[in-house]
Amino acid sequence: MEHNFVYIILFIAAFLSGLAVVLIKPNLGLYLKLLLSFSGAYLLALCVLHLIPELYEVKSTKVGYFILIGFVFQLFLELFSKGIEHGHFHSHHTNNKQMFPFSIFISLWLHSFIEGMALLDPAHQHEHDNNSLLLGIVIHKIPIAIVLATLLITNLKSKVSSVFFIVLFALSAPLGLFLSQHYGTIFLEDITVLMALAVGVLMHISTTILFESSENHKFNFKRFAVIIVGFMLAIFTL
């Protein structure tokens, strides 16, 4: 797929999802949780079936370490993002004054930036697999942008300000992909570590989503069904 087209898709997925919340304020409820469960299952299957095996094909001794670093880094980011990456949302108010939680926004921005790096293909092969990963990231980005936009309109009085931050967020993944593609080899001998870092982040997000998909450890058929569909779609699109 043309790189310019990938940039556009990454931007539009986040921007339009967030913009829709600002303009329409839809009440998605259960549908948002189901979409998160689907995206978590799809990303986990992609990591296990495609991304991790391909990383180890390169035979880099650093791959495993950077997968763990990515996993821990995402754990660190969630200290500030409060788990918005997997659907948690808490409005922030202090003495009836609305304050924008910049720490949450920056952590989400960094998370999305690293997701963009995951689309880097060090081996330059399996284009259809990269398209599958793009689909998974886009599916995951839509509910995250929705939750972020909800947080923005809750804490900011101006719609223009909300849209501005949505644009900044939408630019994060395309920027991550652009910098890794064009400048990764300048600073790193082995750009495979960038992909490994992103895989660690995706592994953390996908497993956390699936672990949380069963509230109070109760069986939920709808969520179980979308998780299975997510696994199957990942298998059939590889």
Percent of the chain with pLDDT over 70: 79
Which residues on adjacent β-strands are paired with residue 97?
94
CB 86 within 8 A of CB 209: yes
pLDDT of amino acid 127: 42
DSSP label of 57 = H
| Band of pLDDT at residue 35, cut at 50, 70 and 90 | confident
* pLDDT value, residue 92: 46
Summarize the confidence of residues 97-109 as an average pLDDT.
77
Asked whether the predicted pLDDT for residue 113 surpasses 60, the reply is: yes
The residue type found at 19 is: L
Amino acid at 27: N
Q: Could you tell me if 174 and 109 are in contact, meaning their C-beta atoms sit under 8 angstroms apart?
A: no
Q: For residue range 67-76, what is the model confidence (pLDDT) as tens digits?
A: 999 999 999 9
CA distance 131 to 143: 19
Q: Is the pTM value of this prediction over 0.95? A: no
CA-to-CA distance for 166 and 141, rounded, in angstroms?
12
Structure tokens at 158: 């101006």
| Residue 87, pLDDT score | 60
Residue 153 CB-half CA count within 13 A? 16
Higher per-residue pLDDT: 55 or 127: 55
Tell which wins on pLDDT, 35 or 120.
35
- Give the pLDDT confidence of 154-213 residue by residue, as tens digits: 888 788 999 999 999 999 999 999 988 888 766 666 778 888 898 999 999 998 888 776
Model pLDDT for residues 202-212, shown as the tens digit of each residue: 999 998 888 77
β-strand pairing of 97-98 with 93-94: antiparallel
At what angle are helices 192-211 and 30-46 packed, to 10 degrees? 140
Higher-confidence residue of 238 and 11: namely: 11
pLDDT at res. 67: 93
- Per-residue confidence at 124, pLDDT binned at 50, 70, 90? very low
Beta-carbon count within 10 A of 30 CB = 10
Alpha-carbon distance 178 to 33, whole Å?
A: 30
Residue 231 — very low, low, confident or very high, per pLDDT cuts 50/70/90?
very high
Structure confidence at residue 122 as a pLDDT band (50, 70, 90): low
* Mean pLDDT taken over the chain: 82
What's the pLDDT at 218? Answer: 63
pLDDT of 112 = 93
